[in-house]
A and B are shown apart, each in its own frame.
Chain A
Amino acid sequence: DGGITQSPKYLFRKEGQNVTLSCEQNLNHDAMYWYRQDPGQGLRLIYYSQIVNDFQKGDIAEGYSVSREKKESFPLTVTSAQKNPTAFYLCASSFPQGTGGSYNQPQHFGDGTRLSIL
């Protein structure tokens, strides 16, 4: 079955450490997204990518980095510069949005990674 796989499900970060969250999809989607979920705040966009080798900052990109070397993969690195990393991180994918694509396509989500500080 097609879907989005996020790993690990739980992750712990030590002080000063960078950690990388994995996101892989086999839906043949061009666009991929990373969201951060905090209780009572909904989801906030960290980074997104509309196509391989290109990505853009979202609303809360500081302290995070991404790469998009393959269509299927969009890993997120939480750097030591992110002072409040404890959250639930969700990866999503969709067909292209906006120019050249369609705004009516829903995003499909993985099951998330819960990151905590040790």
Chain B
Amino acid sequence: AQSVAQPEDQVNVAEGNPLTVKCTYSVSGNPYLFWYVQYPNRGLQFLLKYITGDNLVKGSYGFEAEFNKSQTSFHLKKPSALVSDSALYFCAVREMSNQGGKLIFGQGTELSVKP
């Protein structure tokens, strides 16, 4: 069965510094990986996805993610953090089964960017 783990409940970064939000996955076959962001009392917004191809995926709002097959990781990165990046971030993997291609989510990582 597919699964995804986000090992950090919270990440604290100073504005202007690079940020990394970690994600590891377990899949059988090729992984379909996604990152979403959630602001308070809002739905999830799609940031980026990895399907195949380049290991560095670029997404919305200056975010990118690095796919590493040997380490089964898909870490979210941004070179220079903004206070407005503070939010809850979810990594997800596509369930390759009859369950409608459902997404399996990590438990989320709270990112806090301080001025």
A residues at B contact (CB < 8 Å): 4, 6, 9, 31, 33, 40-43, 45, 48-50, 56, 58, 90, 92, 97-98, 101, 103-104, 106-112, 114
* Count of chain B residues near A, Cβ 8 A: 25
- Supposing A40-B107, A109-B43, A112-B42 touch, asked if A104 and B100 sit within 8 A by C-beta, the answer is no
Query: Number of A-B pairs whose CB atoms are under 8 Å?
Result: 72
Complex interface: chain B residues within 8 A of A104 (CB): 32, 49, 51
| Other-chain contact of B43, A4, A48, A50 (Cβ < 8 Å) | A4
A98 touches B100 (CB 8 A): yes
- Supposing A104-B51, A106-B46 touch, asked if A98 and B101 sit within 8 A by C-beta, the answer is yes
B residues at A contact (CB < 8 Å): 9, 32, 34, 36, 41-46, 49, 51, 90, 94, 96, 98-103, 105-108
B102 touches A103 (CB 8 A): no
Complex interface: chain A residues within 8 A of B90 (CB): 42-43
Complex interface: chain B residues within 8 A of A111 (CB): 41-43
B105 touches A58 (CB 8 A): no
- Complexed CA–CA distance, A4 and B42 (Å): 12
Top 4 A-B residue pairs of the complex, sorted by shortest distance between their CB atoms:
A97-B101, A109-B43, A42-B105, A106-B46
